[in-house]
Amino acid sequence: MEILDNMFFLAEFTPIRPAVGLLFWTTIIFFLFWGLIGRFSFRPIAEALKKREHDIQSALDEAKKAQEEMSQLQAENQKLLAQARQERAVILKEAKDASNQMISEAKTKAKDEAHKIVVSAQREIENQKKHALKEVKNQVGTMALDIAEKVIRKQLGENEEQKSFVDNLVDELKLN
């Protein structure tokens, strides 16, 4: 009969209409289980989730901060690069100006030296010309004197009157 009673009990059991005692104990066990699980499982899980959320938020904040720093570094790099380009352009311009100035100074010096050489050569030519003219005049004068002397000798040798005229001139010169 016991088997029959157990079967009868099982036949009367329906999950849709539980008995009051079963419902009571099930509810108490559920709330005890819920409290234990909540205390020992849900709290650590919730804390772990909060910690993970906090860690993720920190990582996101740090990533954002790193991205901002990278943007600043890129901006600074661009600024330094632009400044370096500008300085390079200034240096190249100064070098080109210095080169042009050196070239113009060299040209000016060369022109001055050439002018000095030309002036010196002209003076030398003028001096040589004067010297040559002086020598030519001296030679012409000497030749003229020689010719005059020969002519005068010829004429003086023939005529006594001319000899006396020359003697008078020589005497006058000696007196002066």
Handedness of CA 150, 156, 162, 168 (dihedral sign): positive
Checking if the pLDDT of 24 tops 60, the result is yes
> Containing domain of residue 126, as a range?
2-175
d(CA 46, CA 52): 10
Checking if the pLDDT of 86 tops 80, the result is yes
What would the pLDDT profile of 8-21 be if each residue is shown by its tens digit?
555 565 666 666 77
How many domains, in total, are found in the chain?
A: 1
Q: What is the pTM of this model?
A: 0.40
What would the pLDDT profile of 37-64 be if each residue is shown by its tens digit?
888 888 888 888 999 999 999 999 999 9
